[in-house]
Structure 1
Amino acid sequence: MGRWGIVALAALAVMGTACSPGSADDVAVGDETATTTTRTPRITDDSGRPPVAFDPCYDIPDDVMNAAGYDAAKKEVADYPMGTHTFLGCTYRKDDHVPGVRRGYNLSILAGNVSLDEELAKNGAVATEISINGRRALLEVNPANKDACTYVLQSDFGIVSFLRLYNKDRPGPVPESEWCTDMDELVSAIEPIIDN
């Protein structure tokens, strides 16, 4: 498993990292003061790559995640400064327990300043090029990474990755055809928020 895969899996396991968002800047406009939504990234690196301009925990509205069945009140912030690149992450749980089928899902959303082409070069063996709302993207399903589904979207600063882990509640394997069930809808709902 590559370094970014380890980052994504670590994000699923991370609980309780606390961080507060950078404050919005006030900009004087005529006699009025307008507040911009631009914030200073929580983490930057000295790689020369673009700063990660999308922060999943602070830029995805809670009502979007709540509508998708994830409890946004329990989201967990995660940061992954790697020196040569950076990832800002957020983890969510969806506890829609179906006895004998599943306990729910863990979802990690990571925004990083690596390119989609770098991601494709790293995971090309398990990646399929797709489009989400007209945006270039990858769907990654790795048979060695059981019960996991990953969507990776291109952005102005790099990529946004959505990794969902299916928490089964039954013996035996979950059919691979179920690993990505309903993920397309969630990713499509969040896609317009990226780079805005």
Structure 2
Amino acid sequence: MKLGTVKRDRIRLVSAASLFVATTLVVAACTADHDGGGAAASSVAAATSNSAIHPPFPTLTAPSLQPPKQQNENRPDVAFDPCTWIDDHTVQKIGYDPSTRKRSIDIHAEYTFLSCEFLTADKAYSIEILSGNRTMDEGRQKFTTDGAQIEDATIEGRAAMIVRTKTPESCDVLLQTKAGYVDFDRIIAGYLIDGPTPERCSGIVDLVRSIVPRIGNY
């Protein structure tokens, strides 16, 4: 056999092998697409979801609303920030005025609480939302020590506690998160309400339920 013939045969073999590999990749890609992404897409999604704790939706960017740097000791970082993760539409949906949004006093020492306050347009209702990395048991102990009445509940599949403190116009709901819990602390200014003042925890579970989608899987 001539040398030129051998070279041509080798080229044909290499080309055929390359074509086989390319065809295999195309078929695999089409199969993954047909299956809604398949294992390859799942790996990409997992890598993306594990690369950051940011939600899959835009957050508010005003400098005055940004959370402080966390300094946790043996506790997970708090992901959900009520001042930048809760959009204006949700604030309006629960009956509050988005223009009253204000970052309240954050705690960022050995544990963290990121806080935000909202008011209704008539100022009769105020709510402070605190997202932290203390455990539900620690929250229960704190309120029990303070003499509060605690009612266990489940809200959107999450463990929760409805808390009636010694302050007559105040109602808290503690909602479990991956980092710890979110404390929804609502106060009713009865003197600003025409007619009878509602029971202090009236409607607060529905309020919390409306905010759960903005917490996401955190």
Give the alignment's TM-score, normalised by structure 1. 0.69
For residues 77-96 of structure 1, the aligned pairs below 5 Å read 77-96=103-122
Which among 189, 199, 206 is matched to residue 178 of structure 1?
199
For residues 78-157 of structure 1, the aligned pairs below 5 Å read 78-96=104-122, 104-124=124-144, 125-142=148-165, 144-157=166-179
- Secondary structure of 2:209's partner? helix
Matched residues in 2 for 1:41 and 1:158: separation?
Answer: 17
- Secondary structure of 2:124's partner? strand
Q: Which has the higher strand share?
A: 1
Matched, 1:47 2:73: yes
What CA deviation, in whole Å up to 9, does each residue of 1:128-178 have, x standing for no partner? Answer: 111111110000002x212001000000011101001001117xxx77x71
Which among 211, 215, 218 is matched to residue 190 of structure 1?
211
Deviation at 1:78, TM superposition (A): 2.4
Paired residues of 2:131 and 2:182 also in contact (CA < 8 A): yes
For residues 60-71 of structure 1, the aligned pairs below 5 Å read 60-71=86-97
Aligned residues between the structures: 152
Matched residues in 2 for 1:37 and 1:83: separation?
Answer: 20
Distance 1:45 1:64, change over 3 A: same
Q: Find the counterpart in structure 2 of residue 24 from structure 1.
A: none
What CA deviation, in whole Å up to 9, does each residue of 1:75-125 have, x standing for no partner? Answer: 0012423522111011000134xxxxxx51011000011011111122235
Deviation at 1:69, TM superposition (A): 1.6
Larger Rg: 2
Q: Which amino acid aligns with 1:116?
A: M
Query: Percent sequence identity over matched residues?
Result: 32
Matched residues in 2 for 1:182 and 1:152: separation?
Answer: 15
Distance 1:87 1:121, change over 3 A: same
- Secondary structure of 1:139's partner? strand
Show structure 2 runs of 5+ residues with no match: 1-43, 45-51, 56-65
Paired residues of 2:68 and 2:108 also in contact (CA < 8 A): no
Q: Find the counterpart in structure 2 of residue 38 from structure 1.
A: 54
Matched residues in 1 for 2:81 and 2:168: separation?
Answer: 27
The higher-RCO structure (CA 8 Å, 6+ apart) is 1
Q: Which has the higher helix share?
A: 2
Deviation at 1:179, TM superposition (A): 0.4
- Secondary structure of 2:99's partner? helix
